[in-house]
Amino acid sequence: DAGVIQSPRHEVTEMGQEVTLRCKPISGHNSLFWYRQTMMRGLELLIYFNNNVPIDDSGMPEDRFSAKMPNASFSTLKIQPSEPRDSAVYFCASSKGQGVGETQYFGPGTRLLVL
């Protein structure tokens, strides 16, 4: 079975540009998570969805960040406008359900560099 798919794997952009990261969860999984990983702050949960509905977006840094899940097989994380401090690795993860103890499966990540 295919795992979580993320694209692009690497993105280099200039400050002020719009960046869109994409994620395809594992088929049959109902929950989807976006994380950000930096050296300074480690792994942070940005937002998660259950059945395509955003459940908790308290980790989204500011209004420049937005996430959507238009259907069960696709999600986007958008940064507009991007800033150098947004440089990080962004991971998408999915799970079958959202019960405590359900395993999350991570994608390979998108490494974003904002110049």
Strand partners, 48: 33, 56
Is the CB of residue 87 less than 8 Å from the CB of residue 110? no
Q: Does the footprint of another protein cover residue 108 (CB under 8 A)?
A: yes
Q: Is the dihedral angle over the CA atoms 64, 114, 38, 22 positive or is it negative?
A: positive
Q: Does the footprint of another protein cover residue 18 (CB under 8 A)?
A: no
Q: Does the footprint of another protein cover residue 46 (CB under 8 A)?
A: no
Is the CB of residue 59 less than 8 Å from the CB of residue 69? no
Which range touches another protein (CB under 8 A), out of 11-19, 64-72, 77-85, 100-108? Answer: 100-108
Q: Which residues bind another protein (CB under 8 A)?
A: 4, 31, 33, 42-43, 45, 48, 55-56, 91, 93, 95, 97-109
